[in-house]
Structure 1
Amino acid sequence: MFEPTAPDAPPLQQSAEFAAALALCGQPPARLDDGALVLTRRLAAVPVALLSRARTDPGALPDLLARAGLRRSVILMNPDAPCPSLERLGAVPLITPAHVAELDLTGDLMAGLHPKWRNRLRHARRQGLHVSHGDLPHDPAHWLLTAEAAQQRARGYRNWPTALTLAYAGANPGATQLFTAHQGNTPIASLLILRHGTAASYHIGHSTPAGRATSAQTLLMWQAMAWLALQGVTRLDLGPVETEGNPGLARFKLGTGARLRPLGGTWAWWPPLGQTLRPLARLDRSAMHPGWTDSPAPDY
């Protein structure tokens, strides 16, 4: 489901590293002939196939699914970019597109920072913090993982299971980069980045009250950006941006100089129906196909 506006490097959900982590968890994904990863499940005895952040050509999708033995599965798709062609295929829109923040790491990183973000970085550098950096330890009780699990329960959202994050580290040595800020010997903030090919993705971040008071997360993000650029990584995916639901996190992500890009929304399609439900897609045409936002950070 790829329109030519998406960046070149595959997203995390379509990477070889993600496939290796799933395989280590005992749930290897299927793969279409064009290389797209497909997660297959059964819900109430109904076979379901999920193409997450895929870039498959919709015109080729029926044949690709048939050759993969998925012709009778319900197909759930959330393309990596707006994809009007899914409407013509007969897919039904379910959820309007989210926007992700993507940071180009090939230019002058300091020049791209929002002035207030840059001020917080200066503040953090004056706090005498020590930053450590290395692979994520294989420890389910690591403080960042337990803090993230507690935050998910408290705020009612879902991220990867801890087992999958640890499997990603185990299957891809060196691809889970953990940056931690210490006040004395005490960790007060951590940031976990997942590398995949020439791209990387922000995965988990957490700060204690002392971390927030010292702007430690800003320091960690800056060091991660600079380190990734030196390693030849060209793009950092900072994940979804919700300016209304979580404006503080949105400002933090966009303050790095990242730009907003719309994904393709979530669609459902059952191949045996063909184009039968195509008229339903027309009802949400304007909502499902937003143009590029390419926005700078909002006012602080």
Structure 2
Amino acid sequence: MFDACPEMPLTPLQQSDAYRKALALTQTRTSTLEDGTLILRRKLAGVSLAMLPRAQLSPETLPDLIRTARKRQHLGKDILILNPDTPSKWLGKLGAVPIMTPQYIAELSLTENLRAGLNQKWRNRLVFAERQGLRITRQNMTQKPDQWLLQNNQEQQRERGYSGWSDALTLAYAKANTGDAKLFTAFDGKTPVAAMLFLKHGRSATYHISYTTPEGRALSAHNLLMWQAMIWLGSKGVTHLDLGGVSTEHAAGLARFKLGTGAKLRRLGGTWIWWPTLGRCLRPLSFLDQKLMR
């Protein structure tokens, strides 16, 4: 379906130290495997769940890591929800069952010639935006819960029927990682018309949330914001920008915007459920669903 992006071994946001610090401020229950893999602890209808988000898993090490964690009561008899960062069909051999097909994400290298990598139409919109006299500001995310981007993003989520991080977690990230939650805002005169928030974590950064008004859309403000963020992040030693999920079926316009930057698509590993207590009893179910994970 898509061309594959060369594997980028940098740590995803959901497994970064910066994310751990934010979770600690929100008093989210977590633990780790011996190799440092982050585990989110949840209870659903009285059932203990251990979630491994965007985990960089290996068939050679995962069984022993889980076995050790269970012995040391880091996991107990929790049901595991695994979200591998790369395709991991081998999980089926352990008895894990796929419950959600893999997502594609867009990843952009910031070490290339960025202008040359832009799609022609994307570049044309950028040139147009650069001529509109927009004023772009860059600042550290503040701790105000009523700031313009957060308020509009919440309304946008309600209108479009999706959900993401809570505002509390976003603000906790900014507080726990001073200077690493960067807010770019476009103004037409004194009026904000678009904004984007990027989260830095090590040599990587993640495109977190954004919003644009109808006027901002008409002025291609998002192209200008993204471009200036790409340039600034690269100048600060960030080599890899995660633009998040891409769906040509449900959000074709957003997919074109992300890929127009020159980003490459990469396939994640889907979502698997695994209860080690059952051993490999569920392997037959896994094989029935293998087509989901291709």
Q: Deviations over 1:138-168 (max 9, x none)?
A: 1100010011111111111011000000000
1:33 maps to: 34
Matching residue's letter, 1:47: S
Matched, 1:78 2:83: yes
Matched, 1:169 2:174: yes
User: Which range is displaced more, 184-193 or 56-65?
Assistant: 56-65
Given that 1:6 and 1:80 are in contact with CA atoms closer than 8 Å, whether structure 2 keeps it comes out as no
1:214 maps to: 219
1:54 maps to: 55
Given that 1:199 and 1:234 are in contact with CA atoms closer than 8 Å, whether structure 2 keeps it comes out as yes
Given that 2:105 and 2:244 are in contact with CA atoms closer than 8 Å, whether structure 1 keeps it comes out as yes
Matched, 1:102 2:103: no
| Residues in 2 aligned to 1:125 and 1:55: alpha-carbon distance in whole angstroms | 40
| Residues in 1 aligned to 2:216 and 2:143: alpha-carbon distance in whole angstroms | 24
2:266 to 261, 265, 288: 261
| Residues in 2 aligned to 1:191 and 1:249: alpha-carbon distance in whole angstroms | 14
Given that 2:129 and 2:221 are in contact with CA atoms closer than 8 Å, whether structure 1 keeps it comes out as yes
| Residues in 2 aligned to 1:156 and 1:32: alpha-carbon distance in whole angstroms | 34
1:21 maps to: 22
Given that 1:135 and 1:177 are in contact with CA atoms closer than 8 Å, whether structure 2 keeps it comes out as yes
2:3 maps to: none
Q: Deviations over 1:56-83 (max 9, x none)?
A: 2234323322433214110001100101
Q: What SS does the corresponding residue of 1:58 show, helix, strand or coil? A: coil
Q: What SS does the corresponding residue of 1:53 show, helix, strand or coil? A: strand
Given that 1:58 and 1:89 are in contact with CA atoms closer than 8 Å, whether structure 2 keeps it comes out as no
Matching residue's letter, 2:213: T
User: Which range is displaced more, 49-58 or 168-177?
Assistant: 49-58
User: Which range is displaced more, 157-166 or 275-284?
Assistant: 275-284
Q: Which contiguous aligned blocks of 4+ residues in structure 1 show a shift greater than 4 angstroms?
A: none
Given that 1:20 and 1:28 are in contact with CA atoms closer than 8 Å, whether structure 2 keeps it comes out as no
Q: Deviations over 1:213-270 (max 9, x none)?
A: 1000100000000111111111100000010101110000000000110000000000
Is there any run of 5+ residues in structure 2 with no aligned partner, and where?
Answer: 1-5
1:142 maps to: 147
Given that 2:33 and 2:66 are in contact with CA atoms closer than 8 Å, whether structure 1 keeps it comes out as yes
How far residue 199 of structure 1 moved from its aligned partner, in angstroms, is 0.4
| Residues in 2 aligned to 1:27 and 1:84: alpha-carbon distance in whole angstroms | 30
Q: Deviations over 1:43-62 (max 9, x none)?
A: 11111000010012234323
| Residues in 2 aligned to 1:63 and 1:129: alpha-carbon distance in whole angstroms | 55
1:293 maps to: none
Is there any run of 5+ residues in structure 1 with no aligned partner, and where?
Answer: 290-300
Q: What SS does the corresponding residue of 1:217 show, helix, strand or coil? A: helix
